[in-house]
Structure 1
Amino acid sequence: MANTIFSSSKNTTFYLSCISMFSILILGYLFITFKYPSIGDDSGYYLKIAYDLAGGMSFFKDLNCSYSPLVMYIYSIPFYFNKDTGLSMLFVYAYVIYPLIGFFFYKVLAYFDVKKNRRLFFTLVLITANFTLEGFHILLEPYVLLFQLIALSILLVYKTNRWMLLLSGIFVFLAFFSKQYGIFILPAFLYFLYNEANNRRNFLFCALFLCIGFLIPLFLLGIYFVAFEGLTAQNFICRLFGISALKGDEYITGIGYSLKGLMERLWQFVLKFPFIIMIPLVFIRKKGKIPSKKTRFSLLLLLGSLSQLYFAYYDHYFQLITPYAIIVVVRLYKRRHKSQYRILQVFSLFFIVVSFFKLYNNYKYKKVIHEEQSINIPVLKSVLPENEKVYLYSISTSYYFLCKYDSPNFETLGYKFPSELTINKIQESLKKGSYIVIGPKFAHLKEFKDYQVISGLTLKREVKRDLTDTYISVLKK
């Protein structure tokens, strides 16, 4: 036991120091969020849909949105009590999920033979990493991860108990119903059951109960939306699985996807989460032994989470990768090589330094965007008051929520990002009497020759937005 990472007084000091640094980083993100309450593009998109759902709209029937709806229904709950719920309260509501993620991840680590103090260490690593990976925004990924971890913890504790597998399958569905990528853990679950079942017949029954758990809520929701909302079964399935967007003239996500971009984003992830460099050590055999079943299971979980990068590689997508990367890393502890523990210490220090650097950059980002939104909101509302039918082409989709603008065509446009649609598709979908906010280089396109120029506005330049200047035009169809 002398080789364990925290066995000596020196290692204990290192452990406690890291815990303190992780706590400071998490508190730092809480500080900048509530000091400068503001939202980005994705958050504004989700919150405006949540606001509309609280106003009585039906997700599948009324809105064109390629995502799964569960999290947006969850985010809609505060608006049932107060339509004017502010950003600070919404962030409180959104951040409550992080202690729950930490709790279930802590429980999952116990299955992989991780001692209590190390479980706390890696739980805080996860939460810190996810805040660094855009987790200080209001997004879908935290709920996907929570439901995945609940499903995983049930599976690991109850193994082949068929009724509990039914429950685990339900939580896999909830992860999928939060965002379609949540289903990518299912192959690893089936591998786990194959190893735990004592014969093929038992495995097939266990797999069947897991799948039935997934299908029960799918079936019930299908009945509701088909029988009570009037959708066809085909339309419901296409919307739920994003098929209609995949086969149509829209993108679900991953605008500008390229292999070069993927490689660059993976490198950035390595810099933000250097622990992943340790993963190849799993494949180094010790005394001719192959990786254990637990190690192979952890690798399948990681591979499943990585498969979402086939579609896109935004920073927040890596929130669903970090927990499974950590699980693979902790499997290295079973090898008890002192050099690996020293490597872990070095990576921990590197991770802390980079995380503080990212916190500082995000502090500056939140400060700037808070100032810009505070200035731009009244300017926009002076021309386009709340509840107007507006499509935001050249400014952030955050203003849909901040200014409470409605989509000009919920069924076709919804709140789609401009990069997801052609400009011809957008203008054709605008209804008579609705507005579009557009930059000057677009205002003179032939598609808008019959539109009326209502006003020109000068907005404070938005963070990371590629505008030649801050002047925009408001056009009316």
Structure 2
Amino acid sequence: MIKIWPNIKLYSGVLLVFIGLMIYRIFKYTFASYDCGYYLSVARDMYNGNTFFTDIAVSYNPLGILILGFPYFFTDSTTYSMHVFVNLLFITLGGFMLFLILRRLKTAVQTALFFSLLYIAITINYDGNVIMLEPYSVLFQLIALFFFLNVLDEKKVFSSLFFSGIYISLAFLSKQFGLFLLLPTGMYLLLKQTALIKRISIYALGVITPLLLLFLFYMSKGVDIIQYISFILGKGVSLDYGNGTGLVDTVNTTGIVNFIIATFFLILIPFYLKKSELKKSEIFFFILLPISSLSVLIFANYNHYFQYVTPYIIILFIVALNTSQQKLKPIINQLVFIVSVGMVVFLSLKTLKLQKRNSKYLMKGLAIVEQEIPKESNVFLSRISPAFYYLLDFNSINLNQIGYTFPEYFKPETILNSLSTGDYLVLTQSYYEKYKQFSNQFSQKKVEFTDEDIYIFIKK
């Protein structure tokens, strides 16, 4: 084990302070993002007795949304903070699981603690300050990886493969992107070739088990196998455009650059790997972990997608560090990690500032819309934050066809066919232009919103 630098406790302390400040700010200033409103509205309807997929049109898998909606198990009148607590708990559990993995890789306690805190801090700064599905998926992935490390060590191989498969399946059922861990683990088994058929069979059995149990539930609801497969592969909503992600957003250049700087230590990985004592099959496995995690960025590069990438860059670095005969000057390690920690501090200060600003913006918008539309109304929001669905207790205009899906995925005609008399359609200026030709079907009102006018249509 190589000592990275003598002041590691100081840097861990800095990260811990900023993690604490961000968590305090998150609870003090409520801010529900676009995705939060989507997930929480679906969770609310699930706990009200509607069945995911069949009663609620949704392109995500159910486990993550089921978990974040857990406060509904205790009360119908949940607060946003309750769901945020669940989200932060799973981010913390992910950090703890990463700590266990790093310790398993023979990492010093202080080093493992630092990187676990770094993971938590980066995750919070990359949309972990709002409710996302990635923390649930990442936690299950890390548990799967923890079991798979037994396979690398040839210990309890068959039971470990089975449980690793189960947790990869749970990661997938939390969010579809969680399945990418099959690439490095599957490739390792193929290259190792030891008892290949038996190992792959047991691994596959682990992956299939949760999927099969969920299918049995849906089969009792009259869902056939083809329909079920389409559901879990993200086809739970019939969209007019796109596949449900990355349709209107541009390349997140700032997020990419910031992430590279926050994980600046990755530039040292080639130097340490060059003289690693690991077997080639193991080196290939650990290199494939971050490479396969980057596959999620093919679909879009929202900040929260980077939550998938962070732990695997950290794991690869630690593996390279702990198994290398390469001796770099201590000042090189120290400078690299000063850059990483400095960037995380900068991002944290930015997050602290934006949390308050965004909260005030949201509260102002809520007060305006609340005056215009009664609670429990059937509403479709066109680029007004879907957080209003949850925070103002709005219902979907067509739960099993439209759900709470973002407006850019539907043609105006699709939405119009889903509206009933008395339903509300809330439009920004750009969407007003798309619906203007159908305005004779509505009574309408123009309302001054936070930074633009919005149009509230009521179906006649």
TM-score, with length taken from structure 1: 0.88
Work out whether residues 177 and 296 of structure 2, in 8 Å CA contact, stay in contact via their aligned partners in 1.
Answer: yes
1:459 to 446, 449, 457: 449
Rate the CA distance shift 1:253–1:340 in 2: closer, same or farther, 3 A.
farther
Q: Percent identity?
A: 28
Distance between the aligned counterparts of 2:320 and 2:149, measured in 1?
19
Of stretches 381-390 and 101-110 in structure 1, the one that deviates more from structure 2 is 101-110
What SS does structure 1 have at the residue aligned with 2:132? Answer: coil
Alignment of 1:273-312 (within 5 A): 273-281=263-271, 285-286=274-275, 292-312=280-300
Distance between the aligned counterparts of 1:248 and 1:102, measured in 2?
39
Rate the CA distance shift 1:247–1:412 in 2: closer, same or farther, 3 A.
closer
Distance between the aligned counterparts of 1:27 and 1:292, measured in 2?
41
Distance between the aligned counterparts of 2:313 and 2:143, measured in 1?
17
Number of corresponding residues: 454
Residue aligning to 1:466: none
Work out whether residues 390 and 405 of structure 1, in 8 Å CA contact, stay in contact via their aligned partners in 2.
Answer: yes
Confirm whether residue 424 of structure 1 aligns to residue 424 of structure 2: no
2:189 to 145, 170, 193: 193
Rate the CA distance shift 1:98–1:116 in 2: closer, same or farther, 3 A.
same
1:270 to 260, 276, 280: 260
Distance between the aligned counterparts of 1:446 and 1:457, measured in 2?
16
Work out whether residues 155 and 165 of structure 1, in 8 Å CA contact, stay in contact via their aligned partners in 2.
Answer: yes
Shift of 1:347: 2.4
1:52-102 CA distances to partner (integer Å, 9 max, x unpaired)? 111111111012211111111112221132122112222222211233212
Shift of 1:353: 1.9
Shift of 1:30: 0.6
1:68 to 43, 61, 84: 61
Of stretches 410-419 and 42-51 in structure 1, the one that deviates more from structure 2 is 410-419
Shift of 1:342: 3.3
Confirm whether residue 472 of structure 1 aligns to residue 460 of structure 2: no
Confirm whether residue 405 of structure 1 aligns to residue 394 of structure 2: yes
Work out whether residues 274 and 347 of structure 1, in 8 Å CA contact, stay in contact via their aligned partners in 2.
Answer: yes
What SS does structure 1 have at the residue aligned with 2:307? Answer: helix
> Which residue identity is paired with 1:396?
S
Rate the CA distance shift 1:346–1:323 in 2: closer, same or farther, 3 A.
same
Which sections of structure 1, spanning at least 5 residues, go unmatched? Answer: 462-468
Of stretches 186-195 and 59-68 in structure 1, the one that deviates more from structure 2 is 186-195
Residue aligning to 1:464: none
Work out whether residues 453 and 473 of structure 1, in 8 Å CA contact, stay in contact via their aligned partners in 2.
Answer: no
Distance between the aligned counterparts of 2:279 and 2:437, measured in 1?
60
Work out whether residues 126 and 323 of structure 1, in 8 Å CA contact, stay in contact via their aligned partners in 2.
Answer: yes
Confirm whether residue 387 of structure 1 aligns to residue 376 of structure 2: yes
What SS does structure 2 have at the residue aligned with 1:64? Answer: coil
Distance between the aligned counterparts of 2:259 and 2:422, measured in 1?
46
Rate the CA distance shift 1:271–1:224 in 2: closer, same or farther, 3 A.
same
Alignment of 1:48-447 (within 5 A): 48-157=41-150, 159=154, 161-194=157-190, 199=194, 202-227=195-220, 229-243=221-235, 249-256=241-248, 261=251, 265-281=255-271, 285-286=274-275, 292-333=280-321, 334-339=323-328, 341-443=330-432, 445-447=435-437
Distance between the aligned counterparts of 1:95 and 1:204, measured in 2?
40
Distance between the aligned counterparts of 1:427 and 1:35, measured in 2?
39
> Which residue identity is paired with 1:300?
L
Of stretches 383-392 and 370-379 in structure 1, the one that deviates more from structure 2 is 370-379
Distance between the aligned counterparts of 1:195 and 1:124, measured in 2?
34
Of stretches 444-453 and 161-170 in structure 1, the one that deviates more from structure 2 is 444-453
1:403-427 CA distances to partner (integer Å, 9 max, x unpaired)? 1111101122111112223333333
Rate the CA distance shift 1:330–1:235 in 2: closer, same or farther, 3 A.
same
Distance between the aligned counterparts of 1:102 and 1:294, measured in 2?
23
> Which residue identity is paired with 1:190?
G
> Which residue identity is paired with 1:314?
Y
Distance between the aligned counterparts of 2:265 and 2:406, measured in 1?
34
Distance between the aligned counterparts of 2:252 and 2:366, measured in 1?
35
Shift of 1:271: 2.6
Work out whether residues 246 and 252 of structure 1, in 8 Å CA contact, stay in contact via their aligned partners in 2.
Answer: no
What SS does structure 2 have at the residue aligned with 1:453? Answer: strand
Shift of 1:188: 1.3
Shift of 1:428: 3.2
Distance between the aligned counterparts of 1:346 and 1:115, measured in 2?
20
Which sections of structure 2, spanning at least 5 residues, go unmatched? Answer: none
Aligned-residue Cα RMSD (Å) equals 2.4
Rate the CA distance shift 1:382–1:43 in 2: closer, same or farther, 3 A.
same
